[in-house]
Copies of this chain bind each other. A is one copy, B any other.
Amino acid sequence: MAMHLTEEKALRLWRDVSLAMVRDDDPDLSARQMAILLSVYLDPPPHTVRGLAAKLGVTKPVITRALNAMGRHKLLARRRDPDDRRNVLIQRTLEGALYLDRLANMIRQAAENEGKAP
């Protein structure tokens, strides 16, 4: 079942979620951090710095810094690949899963609201 969105509803959805993210106290994730976090949680592993850099179209230090920042908040974890110790495997955490649960609920709630007549 495909979802159909008018332009206005699409933008209202985005605005509602953006507003909710700004309003709550959690530090806002940048667009890049959000893309990394969601890719790690939604795409099948393994996830490496190089692979994420290629997927996002950015340089590797961007990924390293984003992992540092999100690692401080425990949204993601790093682990050396035992088979090739040059690689770093990016892994999910409980805190990251809970964060995305809250994000998903914000999106779903906004989608429900936009469905109603304004």
Contact = CB atoms under 8 A, between A and B. Distances in A.
Interface of A: 1-5, 7-8, 10-15, 17-19, 21-23, 28-32, 34-35, 38-39, 41-42, 55-58, 100-101, 103-105, 107-108, 111-112, 114-116
Q: How many identical chains are in the complex?
A: 2
Q: Is the interface of A mostly helix, strand, loop or mixed?
A: helix
Nearest to A20: B35
Q: List 3 tightest A-B contacts by C-beta distance, closest first.
A: A2-B115, A15-B38, A10-B107
Contacts of A108: 5, 7, 10
Contacts of A32: 22, 28
Contacts of A114: 3
A27 B34 CA distance: 15
A17 to B, nearest CB: 8
B10 A31 contact: no
B39 A15 contact: yes
B56 A35 contact: no
A104 to B, nearest CB: 4
A91 B113 CA distance: 26
